[in-house]
């Protein structure tokens, strides 16, 4: 099993940038694909981005494509989400999640929260006008 802890959330102005982190422990991090999801009050938990075991493949929701970048450092057991050009609608609690993969690939499976077993506690990102 693996434990995940997010950090780096906060208050940022519309158009600003923020970088959040997901640190993993207790499991073979190199064997996990990792995804970022977000959830606003009264809303469903939506897919944001995912990254393969080595970082060689990435996937993004249309709503964040071109603005957000997911990356990982397996040596540091950490996945990052760099968020640029933030909008009011990006306000949400952001969660990272991990699922075992037998190869360095991601598919549509990584875009669905139901396919993940391990989740962090979330970090709040609030964008103000």
Inter-CA distances, 78 with 43, 73, 123, Å: 27, 5, 15
The values of phi and psi at residue 96, to 5°, are -105, 155
What pLDDT was estimated at residue 51?
A: 98
Residues 6+ apart with CB under 8 A from 15: 85, 86
The values of phi and psi at residue 119, to 5°, are -135, 150
What pLDDT was estimated at residue 126?
A: 98
Per-residue pLDDT tens over the stretch 64-97: 999 999 999 999 999 999 999 999 999 999 999 9
- Examine the pLDDT at 1 and tell me if it is beyond 90: no
- Examine the pLDDT at 118 and tell me if it is beyond 90: yes
The whole-number average pLDDT for the span 19-26 is 97
Total Cβ atoms within 10 A of residue 5: 15
The whole-number average pLDDT for the span 18-33 is 96
Strands (E), 1-129: 3-7, 10-13, 18-25, 32-39, 46-51, 58-60, 68-73, 78-83, 92-100, 118-119, 123-128
What pLDDT was estimated at residue 13?
A: 98
Sheet strands side by side (includes 3-7): 3-7, 18-25, 78-83, 68-73
Indicate the helix (H) or strand (E) that contains 43.
none
């Amino acid at each position: 099993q693996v434990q995940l802890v997010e950090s780096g959330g906060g208050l940022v102005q519309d158009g600003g940038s923020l970088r959040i982190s997901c640190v993993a422990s207790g499991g073979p991090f190199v064997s996990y694909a990792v995804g970022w999801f977000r959830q606003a009050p009264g809303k469903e938990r939506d897919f944001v981005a995912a990254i393969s075991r080595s970082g060689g493949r990435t996937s993004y929701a249309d709503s964040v494509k071109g603005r957000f970048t997911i990356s990982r450092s397996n040596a540091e057991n950490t996945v990052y989400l760099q968020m640029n050009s933030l909008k009011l609608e990006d306000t949400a609690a952001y969660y990272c999640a991990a699922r075992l993969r037998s190869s360095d690939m991601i598919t549509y499976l990584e875009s669905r929260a139901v396919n993940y077993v391990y989740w962090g506690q979330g970090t709040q990102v609030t964008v103000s006008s």
